[in-house]
């Protein structure tokens, strides 16, 4: 039985709540199939700090208390290893991706990757995002009824291919587009998602086998990315505003550039993380905006105060109520349930408990966002809560935190806001069915069940 000791005091027990000392298949499947229910049940039963065990993971301390989260996020990164703690994702991105780096290599790579996602660099993408949204929306609008999720996925994919790769429409563009969709769709089947959580199932038994199909799709996608990198290097074509051009020209403090494998894996991670996550957040936002008429009315009222066609995209991104709607969307049903895990490299004290070396530390974003003392009526969609107070990065953390906070967070929010404004100011939509929607698993992320069916309103 796992035990974490707490110094003996008259008011304290000497053992941390123990969610489970066994990694049972039933428990694992419960957490995979109904993760929200699982997390809520465990939190209700064991509280803000408890131990849990899953196959493919070390014994893990689940932490949802903001004070404890603050300590984890602000302690020296040298105290933790994140690469091994998130090893189940390696089949998706490759071992050289920043997700699996620690210490100095992680710090150096983060400095290389951060600049394209911030400040003036993002302004160049505003008009592109606006134009792509109108292009993609044209066909669904003609049909009068459509499902938001695939449409938002197409928008986010085109934004990535343009903003990240700088690709123009053509043969390679279409090959990367279609191959990436097949690659991502593999894990969107619930049964296939279990392959990540059970490494023993990851066997290539030929093109007919599930893992064999995934391996072959990944190989094709990597070859296409390699071709693009090779062509850019040969042409010395690093002058574009796209992120790939910026990364090709980037140098660390020693003047070293990323090699082809490093660059390829980082681009693959950006494709995966920036495509599905943003599309699902947009789908949720469109659902809430049209499920609650008062939210749509307040947004349109705010947008009526500016000239959309003339205002700088960065000013649109600063609109208060629009920002509050996006924040509340990411609070209520965060696309990812956990921040990146950390593996403790030496003993530490946390909230009075002695945590031994080798324990994993995992922060459930969803449970932290459901704390009623922070978010009264946490199950309700109330954007106003983000206008009434400012939440600390230990209370509100849709993009993780500490030195592992998502490097694309600012870009994702910027894209989300520009897409929403473009849709709301050009089309009058409504839900096809006015009914509650709950989240369902899509691979390692979570989507609105049914994808959010929308219709064009008759004016």
For 169-182, how does the pLDDT look when each residue is reduced to its tens digit (9 = 90+)? 778 888 888 888 88
| 3-state SS class at 251 | coil
Distance CA 292, CA 299 (A): 11
For residue 276, what pLDDT is reported?
83
The tokens describing 171, both together, are 């043969």
Query: How confident is residue 10, by pLDDT bands cut at 50, 70 and 90?
Result: very low
State the virtual CA torsion across 111, 115, 116, 118 in degrees, nearest 10: 130
- C-alpha distances (whole Å) from 298 to each of 40, 289, 384, 418 are 32, 10, 11, 17
Q: Please list, residue by residue across 379-403, b when 16 or more beta carbons sit within 10 angstroms of its beta carbon and e when fewer do.
A: eebbbebbeeeebebbbbbbbbbbb
Least confident range from 116-120, 183-187, 256-260, 303-307: namely: 116-120
The tokens describing 365, both together, are 């974003």
Residue 243 has pLDDT above 50, yes or no: yes
Q: Give one DSSP letter per residue of 55-82, joined into a string.
A: TTS--EEEE--HHHHHHHHHS-GGGEE-
Q: Tell me the backbone φ, ψ of residue 446, rounded to 5 degrees.
A: -135, 135
Instruction: Yes or no: say if 276 and 105 are a contact pair by the CB < 8 Å rule.
Output: no
Share of the chain above pLDDT 70, in %: 90
Query: How confident is residue 232, by pLDDT bands cut at 50, 70 and 90?
Result: confident
Query: How confident is residue 1, by pLDDT bands cut at 50, 70 and 90?
Result: very low
Distance CA 236, CA 350 (A): 51
CATH class of the region 25-456: mainly alpha
Where are the chain's structural domains? 25-456
pLDDT tens, position by position, 14-38 = 466 666 655 567 777 788 788 899 9
| 3-state SS class at 313 | helix
Distance CA 208, CA 195 (A): 16
The tokens describing 331, both together, are 């609070």
Average pLDDT for 382-386: 97
For residue 398, what pLDDT is reported?
95
Instruction: Yes or no: say if 94 and 261 are a contact pair by the CB < 8 Å rule.
Output: yes
Residue 358 backbone class (left: φ over 0; alpha: ψ -120 to 50; beta: rest): left
Distance CA 414, CA 356 (A): 41
Q: Tell me the backbone φ, ψ of residue 381, rounded to 5 degrees.
A: -85, 105
Which secondary structure element, helix H or strand E, spans residue 360, and what is its range?
Answer: strand 360-362
pLDDT tens, position by position, 175-223 = 888 888 887 777 767 667 777 777 777 888 888 888 888 888 888 888 8
């Amino acid at each position: 039985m796992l035990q974490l000791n707490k110094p003996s005091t008259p008011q304290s027990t000497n053992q941390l709540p123990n969610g489970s000392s066994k990694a049972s298949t039933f428990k694992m499947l419960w957490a995979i199939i109904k993760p929200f229910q699982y997390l809520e049940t465990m939190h209700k039963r064991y509280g803000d700090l408890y131990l849990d065990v899953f196959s493919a993971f070390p014994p893990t301390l689940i932490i949802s208390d903001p004070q404890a989260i603050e300590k984890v996020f602000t302690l020296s990164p040298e105290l933790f290893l994140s690469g091994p703690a998130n090893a189940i994702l390696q089949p998706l991105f490759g071992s050289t991706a920043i997700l699996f780096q620690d210490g100095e290599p992680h710090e150096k790579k983060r400095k290389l990757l951060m600049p394209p996602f911030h400040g003036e660099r993002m302004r160049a993408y505003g008009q592109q995002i606006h134009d792509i949204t109108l292009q993609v929306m044209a066909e669904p609008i003609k049909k009068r009824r459509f499902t938001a999720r695939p449409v938002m996925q197409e928008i986010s994919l085109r934004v990535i291919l343009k903003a990240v790769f700088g690709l123009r429409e053509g043969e390679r563009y279409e090959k990367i587009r279609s191959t990436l969709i097949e690659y991502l769709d593999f894990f969107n089947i619930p049964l296939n998602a279990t392959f990540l959580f059970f490494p023993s199932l990851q066997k290539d038994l030929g093109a007919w086998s599930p893992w064999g199909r995934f391996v072959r799709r990944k190989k094709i996608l990597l070859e296409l990315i390699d071709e693009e990198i090779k062509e850019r290097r040969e042409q010395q074509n690093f002058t574009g505003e796209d992120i790939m051009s910026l990364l090709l020209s980037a140098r660390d403090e020693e003047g070293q550039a990323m090699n082809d494998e490093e660059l390829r894996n980082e681009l693959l991670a950006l494709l995966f993380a920036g495509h599905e996550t943003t599309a699902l957040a947009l789908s949720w936002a469109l659902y809430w905006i049209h499920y609650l008429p008062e939210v749509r009315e307040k947004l349109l009222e705010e947008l009526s105060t500016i000239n959309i066609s003339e205002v700088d995209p960065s000013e649109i991104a600063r609109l208060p109520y629009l920002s509050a709607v996006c924040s509340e969307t990411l609070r209520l049903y965060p696309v990812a349930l956990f921040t990146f895990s950390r593996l403790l490299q030496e003993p530490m004290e946390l909230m009075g408990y002695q945590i031994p070396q080798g324990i994993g530390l995992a922060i459930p974003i969803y449970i932290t966002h459901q704390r009623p003392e922070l978010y009264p009526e946490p199950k309700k969609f109330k954007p106003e809560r983000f206008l009434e107070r400012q939440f600390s990065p230990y209370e509100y953390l849709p993009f993780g935190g500490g030195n592992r906070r998502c490097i694309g967070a600012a870009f994702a929010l910027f894209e989300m806001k520009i897409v929403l404004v473009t849709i709301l100011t050009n089309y009058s939509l409504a839900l096809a069915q006015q009914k509650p929607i709950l989240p369902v698993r899509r691979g390692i992320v979570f989507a609105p069940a049914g994808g959010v069916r929308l219709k064009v309103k008759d004016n």
